[in-house]
A and B are shown apart, each in its own frame.
Chain A
Amino acid sequence: MDQIRVQGVTHTYKSGVTALYDLDLTVEKGEFVFIIGSTGCGKSTLGKLLYRELKPTKGTILVGGINVGKIPNRKVYKIRRKMGVVFQDYKLLDKLTVYENVAFALEIFGLPKDEIHEKVVKALELVGLKNKLKMYPRELSGGEQQRVAIARAIVNGPKLLICDEPTGNLDPKTSMEVMTVLDEINKLGTTILMVTHDINIVDKMKKRTVLLNAGRVLKDYAEGEYTK
C-alpha cells in the first residue's frame, strides 16, 4: 500500500487564493521525497493537507489508507499520533528541558513513566543528543534544537514524517547534520516527505524530488535524477 496518495486535490484558501490545482502525487512506503519549488508555489499547503491542518477543497488525500480530508476536527489527533511533523522554527517549549520536550508528546497519551523514559532516550540517542537531556532549548544550537524537534516527532514511532523546511534556519554544515539524522530515520523504515527550497541539500541527498510550480507538479524526478 502507498503511504500517501493525493488525487485531484485542489486547495483554495478563504481569501480566494488557490494554492494547489488538481494535484496528483503518490508516495510509497519507506520513500524519502523532497518537495521543491519557488516561494508561494504551494509546498507548505501540501504539507498542511497531509497532516490535516487544512482540508482539500476538492479531491482526496489518503495517508496510510485513511482519507484524512474527511476526518472531523475533533478526531484529527488520531492521525497526528500516527505521523510526525517538523518545522523550520522547531516549535519547542522554552520552559521545558530537552527530555521534557520530547516526553511531552508521550505524556498526553498517558504512557507509564518508565516506558516514556525508554522511548525518549532512544529517540534522543537516534538524533545524537543523548547527553543533553537536561538542557533547555535556549542552551542549544539551532541544529541541536531541530534535532530535538525531530526526536519529538519520531518518539512515538510514526510511519510518516512530514518536514516543512527543517533546515530553513540552519547553515549548510548544520543542515547536513540534520539531513543525516533524517536519512537514518528513513532507513529505519519511516517514510519522509520534506519540503525545502535548499537546492544544495536536494542535490546532495539524491532522493526522489517533486518540483511544484504555481500549485501544480511540474516535474517528478526519480531517485538520483535531480541535479541543479
Chain B
Amino acid sequence: MKTFRILGRNIRDSFRGVWRNLSLSLASISCITITLIVVSIAMILSANVNNFTSQIEKDVTIVVFLDQNIEEDDIDSLYYDIDTIQYVESITFKGKDEIAGEMMEASETYDSIMSNWTHEDNPLQDTYLVKVTDIDHIAEVAKEIGYLENVSVVKYGEGMVEELVSIFDMIKNVTIVIVIALILVTAFLIANTIKITIDSRRREIEIMRLVGASNINIKIPFIFEGLVLGVIGSIIPIIITCYGYAALYTRLHGQLFSSIIKLIVPEPFMYNVSLLLLVIGMVVGMVGSLRAVKKYLKI
C-alpha cells in the first residue's frame, strides 16, 4: 500500500516534470520519436530481409547432372560421396524419366515429342538435387561436387543469389549502425533534459533532503520522468508502424519485386515490433535519466 502511494506520487511528479519544462521535453520526445521510427523501419527491414534470405536459401538448389552411362551402383556411391561434403543439407534423386514426365505435363509440344521415348532413348540425364545448410558456402559445395566422378555438370543460380543476399546483409548492417548512433544521441538528449529538470528543482531537492527524503525518494521521480519521455516518444512510431506496415503490405500484395520475395504477414509481426519499440523507448529514457541522475544528482 505504502509502496503504491509512493509510486503514485512519483508518477504524478514525473508527469509534472515533463510538463514543467515542456519545450525541452518536447525536444527529447521528438528525438525519441524520430529514433524509434528509424528503429522501426530498420526492424521491419531486417526482419523481412532475414525472412526472405532464409526463403531464398531454402529454395536455392544445386543441380548435379550425372553422366549418361552411369551404373546403378555408381549412382548410390555418388550419393554417399556428396553426403560427406560439408554444408550439404539434403540430397534428392530425380531420374531422367521423372524429369521427362514433368516436362511433358508442362507443355503439349514436349508431350507429343517425348511420349514415345523409352527409358533407353531418353536423352536427358539423371540428377541429384542438393540443398546446402548455408548459402554462403554454396559455391564451395558446387565446386567439390564437380570434382567427383560420374558427374558431368553442376549448376546453381551462380552469382545472382549470393549477391542478393550480401546486399541485404549490407543494408541490415548499415541500419544497425544508424540505429545505434541514433539511440546514443537520444539517450544523451534525455540525459540533458533530466539534467535541466534537476537544476530547476535543486531547491526542492534540498528541501526534500532536509525533511528526510531518502536518496531513492529523490531520484526515482527523475528516472520516471525519463521513462515517461520514452513512453510518450514511442506513441507515434507505434501508430506509424501498425498502420504503415499494414498499408504497405496491402499495397504491395505481400510481396516485393516478385513473388520470390514475400513480406512478413502484418499480424502479429507489427504488434511485436510495436512492443519492442515501447520497450526500447522506455529503456532509452531510463538509461538517459539514470545517467543524468548519477552525474548531476550527487547526494
B1 to chain A: closest residue by CB: A112
A191: chain B residues at CB < 8 Å are none
The range of chain B's interface size is: 20 to 34
Flag A106-140 by CB within 8 Å of B: 1 or 0 each.
01111110000000000000000000000000000
Cα(A228)–Cα(B206), bound, Å? 36
Cα(A227)–Cα(B140), bound, Å? 105
How near does chain B come to A117, taking the closest CB pair, in angstroms? 14
Within 8 A of A (CB), among B203-252: 203-204, 206-215, 217
| Most A-side CB within 10 Å, residue of B9, B207, B299 | B207
Q: B2–A110 contact, CB under 8 A?
A: yes
Cα(A76)–Cα(B218), bound, Å? 13
Interface residue from A73, A78, A80, A112 paired with B210 (Cβ < 8 Å)? A80
How near does chain B come to A25, taking the closest CB pair, in angstroms? 22
B9: chain A residues at CB < 8 Å are 107-108, 110
Tell me if B295 is interfacial: C-beta within 8 Å of chain A: no
Beyond A73-B299, A112-B5, whether A80 also contacts B204 by CB under 8 A is no
Total residues of chain A contacting the partner, CB 8 A? 22
Tell me if B6 is interfacial: C-beta within 8 Å of chain A: yes
B16 to chain A: closest residue by CB: A95
A-B contact count (CB 8 A): 56
Tell me if B3 is interfacial: C-beta within 8 Å of chain A: yes
A80: chain B residues at CB < 8 Å are 209-212
Cα(A34)–Cα(B188), bound, Å? 50
A208: chain B residues at CB < 8 Å are none
B6: chain A residues at CB < 8 Å are 108, 110
Q: A108–B299 contact, CB under 8 A?
A: no
| Most A-side CB within 10 Å, residue of B6, B206, B209, B210 | B210
Tell me if A81 is interfacial: C-beta within 8 Å of chain B: yes
Q: A76–B5 contact, CB under 8 A?
A: no
Interface residue from B3, B210, B299 paired with A91 (Cβ < 8 Å)? B210
Cα(A51)–Cα(B9), bound, Å? 26
Q: A110–B3 contact, CB under 8 A?
A: yes
Tell me if A71 is interfacial: C-beta within 8 Å of chain B: no
A51 to chain B: closest residue by CB: B210
B208 to chain A: closest residue by CB: A108
Interface residue from B5, B206, B299 paired with A110 (Cβ < 8 Å)? B5
B3 to chain A: closest residue by CB: A110
Beyond A93-B203, A93-B204, A112-B5, whether A105 also contacts B211 by CB under 8 A is yes
Tell me if A85 is interfacial: C-beta within 8 Å of chain B: yes
How near does chain B come to A104, taking the closest CB pair, in angstroms? 7
How near does chain A come to B1, taking the closest CB pair, in angstroms? 8
Beyond A107-B9, A110-B2, whether A77 also contacts B214 by CB under 8 A is yes
Cα(A110)–Cα(B209), bound, Å? 15
A105: chain B residues at CB < 8 Å are 211-212
Cα(A28)–Cα(B239), bound, Å? 66
Beyond A104-B211, A112-B5, A156-B212, whether A77 also contacts B217 by CB under 8 A is yes
Which 7 pairs of residues, A with B, have the shortest CB-CB distance?
A: A81-B212, A80-B212, A105-B211, A110-B2, A110-B6, A77-B214, A108-B213
Return 27 A-B CB contacts under 8 Å, by A number. A51-B210, A74-B214, A74-B215, A77-B209, A77-B214, A77-B217, A78-B212, A80-B209, A80-B211, A80-B212, A81-B212, A91-B203, A91-B206, A104-B211, A105-B212, A107-B9, A108-B9, A108-B208, A108-B213, A108-B217, A110-B2, A110-B3, A110-B5, A110-B9, A111-B2, A112-B5, A152-B211
